[in-house]
Amino acid sequence: MKPITYTRAQSLPGILASRIAILDGAMGTMIQRFKLGEAQYRGEGYAGPGSQGDRFKDFPKDVKGNNELLSLTRPDVITDIHEAYLAAGADMIETNTFGATTVAQADYDMADLAIEMNLVSAQLARAACDKYSTPDKPRFVCGALGPTPKTASISPDVNDPGARNVTFEELRAAYYDQTKALVEGGADVILVETIFDTLNAKAALFAVDEYFEASGERLPILISGTVTDASGRILSGQTVTAFWHSVRHAQPLAIGLNCALGAALMRPYIQELNKVATDTFISCYPNAGLPNPMSDTGFDETPDVTSRLVREFAAEGLVNIVGGCCGTTPDHIGAIAQAVSPLATRSVQRGYFYKEVA
């Protein structure tokens, strides 16, 4: 394959080759800490920069829980979360766009706001990264493309295996618009994450490449799947090895796993990736263990537990990027950063997918 020359984040491959980079933690977990009500999700009580005023005051459908809307109505909350992770030591932060596709936003009747959500979310993350970046520790904005609540491979009707509630073309169009807005808003990296259906991911990767061809931009791509149970397969049925071979054509800077099982149960699947994905970097950002509604974060593990488990991944030479998913906080990310900082990053067959910076 022809090596890629990136138009942004040109220094990132070198960083990953020299040390373990730190990704941020959960956005949803942190938003829950603000205990925002329906009125606050609509922007009531906020008059700071980016205020939407009464724009959503009379919106006819409940919007509480639509975290991506907060980039518009409560940019102060999203900025505070970004800056908390950066202060904790994150090298890379994700935009607040996990559900900011037209497909996902249709659940709230806000599909027409998806492009604006992505643009503003990227701008907020960009401003936070610029604030914390230094010459010896640059910070990177990862434009997050979530899986959507629909699956192109699996029927939503147990009585009709051939039924589908979304098409490849619908997903491609949604992801194209999302990618375009994220890049225009200042993203350095495209992160296709929490993949439970490889066909959804293929639609995203197709759209990303289509945008790159149209725009002349070429950003690093990170791909992260999620193993949903002890079978070691993603929801649409592929093993980790099969998943890698299905998406490696996109020439990602890194392939990895996130969410789902937590670090303890995720380890054998990261080991499997380490064996098969020898020509790219590997990322891992697990949940803080298993769900526990009695916990403050909704998950079992405290920062010391999660950081100890993630450190074991690094000590075994399995990872280049580590961070946290559901239930993780800036305290988790700070502990992870401290735990892995003395350890060497995973070595790869360098120069296969990307071109070294001159």
- Check the annotation: does 259 bind a ligand: yes
State how far the Cα of 36 lies from the Cα of 350, in Å rounded to an integer: 46
Do 77 and 36 form a contact (C-beta atoms < 8 A)?
yes
Cα angle 310, 300, 264; round to 5? 35
State how far the Cα of 34 lies from the Cα of 49, in Å rounded to an integer: 19
DSSP output for 72-112: HH-HHHHHHHHHHHHHTT-SEEE-S-TT-SHHHHGGGT-GG
- Check the annotation: does 325 bind a ligand: yes
- Check the annotation: does 142 bind a ligand: no
Sign of CA dihedral 351, 353, 357, 358: positive
- To which H or E segment does residue 184 belong? helix 168-185
Beta-carbon contacts of 297 under 8 Å, excluding residues fewer than 6 positions away, are 26, 29, 288, 327, 328, 329
Amino acid at 162: G
Do 149 and 104 form a contact (C-beta atoms < 8 A)?
yes
How many CB atoms are closer than 10 A to CB 6?
A: 20
State how far the Cα of 283 lies from the Cα of 274, in Å rounded to an integer: 10
CA nearest neighbour of 257 among 266, 265, 248 = 266
Backbone phi, psi, residue 53, to 5°: 60, -130
Beta-carbon contacts of 322 under 8 Å, excluding residues fewer than 6 positions away, are 20, 21, 22, 23, 283, 284, 285, 310, 313, 314, 336, 340
Binding-site annotation, residues: 259, 325-326
Binding-site annotation, residues for Zn(2+): 259, 325-326
